[in-house]
Amino acid sequence: MLGRLNHVAIAVPDLAAAANQYRASLGAEVTAPQALPEHGVTVVFINLPNTKIELLEPLGADSPIAAFLVKNPSGGMHHVCYEVDDILAARDRLQADGARVLGDGNPRIGAHGKPVLFLHPKDFCGTLVELEQAG
């Protein structure tokens, strides 16, 4: 059931500085910033040969990563995103095993235009897990 690692998301307090560090010091390919007001973040992607890193900066008053940055002022790893072939089948299997799906339990359209769900970190080794419908 578990497919590719779609991305690792890192919340940062200063997107321009973080993007520049990955570009200049690590020689990485970094995309231009995209504001996603409906998700409360501005994002850049670091394109690695096999996956990508998403750097997230809060956008707007109700950013879902604002509280995380209060607790982690330098930034930090925020979530991992795994691809699954069938997000509803994955959800049903996880819920049957006792895992909690955040929100109302229904997929919503994520930052890549595909259905996504988030699983409760307490049910996954302290890790916020995003599942994204592949393809």
Beta bridge partners of 76: 11
Q: What are the start-end ranges of the H helices in the chain? A: 15-24, 66-71, 87-96
CA-closest candidate to residue 76, choices 9, 11, 8, 14: 11
Question: How far is the C-alpha of 65 from the C-alpha of 58, rounded, in Å?
Answer: 6
Binding mask 4-23 for its own copies (x = CB under 8 A): xx--x-xxx-----x--xx-
Q: How many angstroms separate the CA atoms of 66 and 26, rounded?
A: 27
Smallest distance from the beta carbon of 110 to its own copies, in angstroms? 18
Residue 135 in the binding site for its own copies (CB under 8 A):
no
**Is residue 51 at the binding interface for its own copies, with CB under 8 A as the rule?**
yes
Contacts to its own copies by CB under 8 A? 1-5, 8, 10-12, 18, 21-22, 24-28, 46, 48-51, 53, 55, 72-77, 80, 82, 90, 93-94, 97, 99, 121-122, 124-127
Please list the active-site residues.
130
